């Protein structure tokens, strides 16, 4: 390992988690190589993957500190309220059983900030390009790797070999790093496929998100920024849909013509925002739970979807990955400041122990909510609706849930507090 340049960390994956991890560690003085099979051009980031991401307040503070959030000016919208409803397809819009808004937070901040996935990825890529401590290996993939007591040697599919003190796997649910390490996962499919797409509507959403629970699965709309017209004033009001259906139904909706799709969508969306219709490309994703048995191995650590993937019902997927990044950065900096090996198993195990409970508790919450609401058993519906109404009337309970979603409860690493350790 002595001949090639050695990095503090080699990050496998140039997506949201990998890029944010790279920016955070670079700003903290670590040297990094990032392996990304795709270069994130403006065209790629504008197209995106159909998803809109609800970024909670503490992770947003971290993105702001890292210089990523300021690059998104005009491309995000505050989620000022969340309205939770239970019913059947075709029901007239009812009063929400449970509502969250800025008043449920002590600091009166929005419930979350909604940004399209592609725009966020583009901002992360731009921020990473400005860090001199990061070197990119673009258009190549991990072939294999070897480890010893001093570090990791990584071979790329173009033959280049990289050496680092450690490797960070941010290569998604199908993580090649995790597979090569032999780390098993547990979980299951939900028998649901999520359709995600933007829709346009007559009236402004006024920052409101709606989560309808139907027997086939949740149907959520998230507020997006308006697209301004050529005059810079008149624009199109938009929301992003996350529509869960049984796989066969979802496949039919994906192949349906726009008029047919809109007709089915309106039955669920309703007309509370006036006329509504598709205004962009449709994407679909199978839903399932997947959590790695271990988040670490000697000289290797898993973050983001490589470590855990849960149901999107609570909108916490990326937020959990951003919390991974904040915790890993903290334990690495702490070890370095003490003159210890920041990539040792002991240090990485602190990350694993810190993150495990948070991941499992969020996964369990999403699991219970999805199974509780994805059925049409009358007694169960009565009990769950009554429970939601009771919670809606209890401000301390709503504040607890709000703080949990915003990642403001429990022990917070310095990045989630929006500050540096120096």
Count the helix, strand and coil residues of the chain and give each as a percent rounded to the nearest 5.
40, 30, 35
Give me the domains of the chain, ranges plus CATH numbers. 6-76+116-187+289-374+411-417 (3.50.50.60)
For 60, phi and psi rounded to 5 degrees?
-65, -40
- Pairwise CA distance, residues 218 & 228, whole Å: 30
Q: What is the pLDDT of residues 301-335, one digit of tens each?
A: 999 999 999 988 767 889 999 999 999 999 999 99
- Under DSSP, the state recorded for 74 is T
- Under DSSP, the state recorded for 273 is T
User: Would you state the pLDDT for residue 368?
Assistant: 75
- Under DSSP, the state recorded for 13 is -
Across-strand partners of 7? 164
- Pairwise CA distance, residues 90 & 59, whole Å: 37
- Pairwise CA distance, residues 49 & 255, whole Å: 17
Hey, CA dihedral for 173, 179, 184, 188, is it positive or negative? Answer: positive
The residues of the chain scoring below 50 in pLDDT are: 1-2
What does DSSP say about strands 276-278 and 161-164: parallel, antiparallel, or unpaired? Answer: unpaired
User: Would you state the pLDDT for residue 216?
Assistant: 83
User: Would you state the pLDDT for residue 1?
Assistant: 45
User: Would you state the pLDDT for residue 311?
Assistant: 86
- Indicate the pTM of the whole model: 0.90
- Pairwise CA distance, residues 303 & 17, whole Å: 7
User: Would you state the pLDDT for residue 107?
Assistant: 60
């Amino acid at each position: 390992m002595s001949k090639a340049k050695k990095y503090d960390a080699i990050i496998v994956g140039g997506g949201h988690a990998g890029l944010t991890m790279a920016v955070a560690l670079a700003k903290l003085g670590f040297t990094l190589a990032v392996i990304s099979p795709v270069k994130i051009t403006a065209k790629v980031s504008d197209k995106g993957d159909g998803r809109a991401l609800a970024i909670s307040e503490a992770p947003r503070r971290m993105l702001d500190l890292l210089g990523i959030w300021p690059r998104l000016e005009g491309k995000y919208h505050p989620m000022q309220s969340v309205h939770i409803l239970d019913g059947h397809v075709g029901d007239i819009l009812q009063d929400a059983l449970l509502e969250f808004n800025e008043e449920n937070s002590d600091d009166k901040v929005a419930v979350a900030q909604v940004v399209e996935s592609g725009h966020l990825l583009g901002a992360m890529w731009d921020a990473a390009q400005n860090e001199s401590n990061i070197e990119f290996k673009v258009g190549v993939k991990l072939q294999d790797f070897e480890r010893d007591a001093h570090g990791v040697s990584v071979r790329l599919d173009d033959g280049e070999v990289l050496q680092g003190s450690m490797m960070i796997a941010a290569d998604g649910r199908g993580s090649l790093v995790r597979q090569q390490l032999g780390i098993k996962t547990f979980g299951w499919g939900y028998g649901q496929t999520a359709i995600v797409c933007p829709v346009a509507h007559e009236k402004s959403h006024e920052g409101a998100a709606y989560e309808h629970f139907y027997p086939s699965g949740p149907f959520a709309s998230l507020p997006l920024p308006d697209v301004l017209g050529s005059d810079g004033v008149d624009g199109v009001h938009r929301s992003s849909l996350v529509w869960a259906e049984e796989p066969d139904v979802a496949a039919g909706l994906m192949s349906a013509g726009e008029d047919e799709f809109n007709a089915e969508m309106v039955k669920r969306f309703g007309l509370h925002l006036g006329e509504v219709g598709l205004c962009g490309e449709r994407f679909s994703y199978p839903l399932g739970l997947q959590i790695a048995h271990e988040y670490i191995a000697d000289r290797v650590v898993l973050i983001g979807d490589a470590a855990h993937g849960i149901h999107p019902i609570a909108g916490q997927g990326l937020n959990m990955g951003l919390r991974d990044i904040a915790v890993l950065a903290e334990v690495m900096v702490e070890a370095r400041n003490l003159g210890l090996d920041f990539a040792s198993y002991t240090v990485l195990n602190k990350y694993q122990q810190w993150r495990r409970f948070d991941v499992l508790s969020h996964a369990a919450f999403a699991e219970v909510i999805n199974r509780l609401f994805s059925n049409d058993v009358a007694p169960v519906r009565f009990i769950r609706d009554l429970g939601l109404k009771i919670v809606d009337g209890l401000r301390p309970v709503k504040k607890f849930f709000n703080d949990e979603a915003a990642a403001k409860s429990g022990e917070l690493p310095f990045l989630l507090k929006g500050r540096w350790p120096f």
